[in-house]
Structure formats: structure tokens, C-alpha cells
Amino acid sequence: MAQTQGNILPFRGKWPKIADDVFIAPGASVIGDVEIGAGSSVWFNSVIRGDDNPIRIGERVNIQDGTVIHVHSKFQGTWIGNDITIGHMALLHACNIQDKAFIGMGSIVLDQCTIETHGMLAGGAMLTPGKTVKGGELWAGRPAKLMRELSRDEILGFDWSFESYSERAQEYRTELMKLANELGEV
């Protein structure tokens, strides 16, 4: 039997609330106090775990393969706005990602960090607790620091990224629904 969707599980009586058109890939897990907005996608082997505090994910957010999103056990959830790309194997922990931000592959965003609208964290970077990436800035390194201002073209490229993943997610969703129908799982 083929798995055609990810694992959606309750924790402490709270089930995730997921918009109808969200694509959750097989092997991905969404657990507990999590809300995911329309047009978003959670790709293969990602884990979104809202156990001790909430996770709120806006519309048209693409959470790429192997990403982990979690919360702080005592004081903070994770808040992710709209129109955001989160690259493969990223780790977001008890942070705030504002609309149209870009999180590079393999990057880490730690407790009480903020990435403002049009802010970018480069692939492989680690944003240490309490730091803020301001709009229009590129931060990189471990620990991450301000590298430079982003160009207008780079910022416009953020739109291409989440839009293309949104289209691809719907294609995958359609293919997997077709497979589920053929296998009699729907």
C-alpha cells in the first residue's frame, strides 16, 4: 500500500488545523497545536511539532524536505507569515519569520529570533538566540552576521521561489490523490 499523505497527529488533545489545499508529503509529520494556511506545502520528511506551544504557518509557505519546526517548551511558539520559502533541512525553533522572508537550505534559526519581511538567511547559516534579520538584509555564517543589503532583483526572486513551489505542491497533491483513488484509499 502506498502512503499518499503525511502523518497528521494530535498531542494533548490538540489536532493540527490545516487548510484544505495544503500539500503534506508522505513521510512528513505535523503534530499538535499547529495551523497551516492555504496554498502551503510541507515536503518529504519534514517535522512540524507544536507540543508545548503553538506553531502558526501562514499562506503560501513552502517548507522543503527534511525541515524541522519546533517551539520552546516554556515561553515561545513559532510564527511563520505568508509567502515564505524555507529551504531543505532547515531548523526553526521558537522564532518569528515575517512575510516574504527567505530561509536558506540547512540554516538554523534559534529561540526568539526574528527574520523581518524581505529578510534572508543564507544556506548553512545559524542565527543565534535573540537576533533580528531586518528587511532587505542578507545574513550568513555560523554564527550568522550581516553580510550586505539585498538587491531589488534578489528580493523579487523570493516571489518566484514560493510561487513555483506552490505550483509544484499542487501537482504532487493531484498525482497522489489520483494514486490514492486508484488504490482505493480515498
Residues 166, 39 contacting (CB under 8 angstroms): yes
Cα dist. 63→46, 91, 98, 147 in Å? 8, 11, 14, 24
- DSSP strands (E only) in 15-115: 17-18, 23-24, 29-36, 41-42, 47-57, 61-63, 68-70, 78-80, 84-86, 91-93, 96-97, 102-103, 108-109, 114-115
Cβ within 8 Å of residue 67, ≥6 positions away: 43, 46, 47, 86, 87, 88, 89, 90, 91, 92
Query: Structurally, what CATH architecture does the domain formed by 7-182 represent?
Result: 3 Solenoid (2.160)
pLDDT digits (tens, 9 = 90+) for 80-110: 999 999 999 999 999 999 999 999 999 999 9
Which has more pLDDT, 90 or 3? 90
pLDDT digits (tens, 9 = 90+) for 121-159: 999 999 999 999 999 999 999 999 999 999 999 888 877
Residues 165, 41 contacting (CB under 8 angstroms): yes
Cα dist. 40→6, 107, 116 in Å? 14, 20, 19
pLDDT digits (tens, 9 = 90+) for 23-45: 999 999 999 999 999 999 999 99
pLDDT of residue 183: 75
HSE (side-chain half, CA atoms, 13 Å) at 118: 12
- Predicted TM-score (pTM) of the model is 0.90
Please state the domain extents for the chain.
Answer: 7-182
